[in-house]
Amino acid sequence: MDSSYPRVTITDIANKANVSITTVSRVLNGSPAVSKKTRKKVEKIIEEMGYIPNALARGLVNNSSNTIGLIVSDITNSFFADVIQGIENVLSSYGISVFLCNTGYSREKEDMYILQMLEKRADGLIIFSTYANHEDTVKKAKDIIPIVTVQSSFDGVDCINTTDEKGAYDAVNYLIKCGHKHIAFLTYDYDNTTILDRKKGYIKALEDNGIPVDENLIIASKFKPNCGYHMTQELLEKAPYITAIFAYNDQLALGVYLYLQKKGLRIPEDISVIGYDNTELATLLNPSLTTVGQPRKEMGISAAELLVKRIREQKSIIPQTILLPTTLIVRDSVRKL
């Protein structure tokens, strides 16, 4: 337990400097109410003795740990990694430390972590949860500390999101403008706002263009390795007449590529493909993948900025949702008919 921190305290400094601990504390906190001379003397001793302030003690009296918890479902996901980078950037500039809580999509672990953060007296929480609405624990936490959500929505909680419906709409609309009529949608089978929004966008684009929605063209499955591949297989068995595929994300689009290549179908000559997320993958694929991009780092920045604001403000303000724009990034995977 005791990891042996045989450390110098302000008392030691005070003794050696022949001042009171208050004075040392004042020096440490840059209070103006210290004479230049005393300050110099104390600073010198602090330096000499290698004093390191104890944030635990500080946090205890200040009732603030200068720390926030970051709850993420999968740190391995490059989308998250970019957002996290944005968050980290902002927070480190405020001197706020970040607890990394990787839930691995496990609800129990998410609950465990939220509780842990509460115990560690985190000043706030940023949550990305791919699965939706585990209300209970979050509900408890949000009455205690500010929470900002990214790409998920909880009642009464601030949220940073992207215009996902519009992103999907733009993609599908672009396909339609290119002359495609039989457009499939490969997606995941979860009850999550992001997933729902993209589907809405897909359907709306079709409807707005007078194209009937064909349920056969919507393939939804659970997360699985390589599932884009299998979905494409299923799709082509059901509906070989499609000319374009809109994939929920670039990862799925990759599976589409792999299956089509295997089958000797060419992209975009035989089938056009659009992905979502503008991951590194999109530029790497051959042909390069047309996709929908989000400002990932900015999402992180916004989330962090908003959280800091909430921590500094008093509580009970109206929660807001900040929607960041998506952009259709046209590359080489779509053919004009």
Partner DNA sequence: GTGAAAGCGCTAACAC
Partner DNA sequence: GTGTTAGCGCTTTCAC
The binding site for its own copies (CB under 8 A) comprises 1-5, 7, 50, 52-57, 59-60, 62-65, 67, 70, 75-76, 78, 81-82, 84-85, 88-89, 92, 95, 97-102, 104, 109, 112-113, 115-116, 118-121, 123-124, 140, 144-146, 254, 261, 281, 284-286, 311, 314-315
Q: What is the DSSP string of 130-164?
A: SS---HHHHHHHHTTS-EEEES---TT-EEEEE-H
Question: What is the per-residue binding string for DNA in 160-179, x denoting contact by CB under 7 A?
Answer: --------------------
Q: How far is the CB of 116 from its own copies (least distance, A)?
A: 6
Compute and round to an integer the Cα radius of gyration of the chain. 26
Tell me the sheet residues that pair with 221.
188
Question: By CB under 7 A, is residue 320 in contact with DNA?
Answer: no
Contacting residue, 3, 4, 47, 61, with DNA by CB under 7 A: 61
Residue 25 interface partner, choices its own copies, DNA, none, CB cut-off 5-8 Å depending on type: DNA
Spatial CA neighbour of 134 closest among 162, 113, 165, 164:
113
Choose the one of DNA, its own copies, none that binds residue 218, judging by a C-beta under 5 to 8 angstroms depending on kind.
none
Those residues with Cβ within 8 angstroms of residue 299's Cβ, 6 or more apart along the chain or in another chain: 83, 86, 150, 151, 160, 162, 324
Core vs surface per residue 239-271: b (16+ CB within 10 A) or e: eeebbbbbbbbbbbbbbbbebbeeeeeebbeeb
Q: Which does 173 bind (CB under 5 to 8 A by kind): its own copies, DNA, none?
A: none
Nearer to its own copies, 120 or 266 (CB): 120
Alpha-carbon distance of 93 to 106, in angstroms, equals: 31
**Nearest to DNA of 50, 225 (CB atom):** 50
- Give me the least distance between CB of 277 and its own copies, in Å please: 14
Least separation in angstroms between residue 312's CB and DNA is 15
Paired strand residues for 125? 69, 147
Helices 10-17 and 21-28: crossing angle, nearest 10°? 110
Out of 16, 43, 49, 58, point to the residue binding DNA (CB under 7 A).
Answer: 58
Residue window 219-258: x/- pattern of binding to DNA, with contact defined by CB under 7 A? ----------------------------------------
- 32-51 mask for DNA (x: CB under 7 A)? xxxx-xxx-----------x
The DSSP result for 183-215, as a single string, is EEEEEE-S--HHHHHHHHHHHHHHHHTTPPP-G
Instruction: Select the residue interacting with DNA from 40, 44, 48, 60 (CB under 7 A).
Output: 60
Residue 63, interface with DNA (CB under 7 A)? yes
Q: Order across the sheet with 218-221: list the strands.
A: 218-221, 183-188, 244-247, 272-274
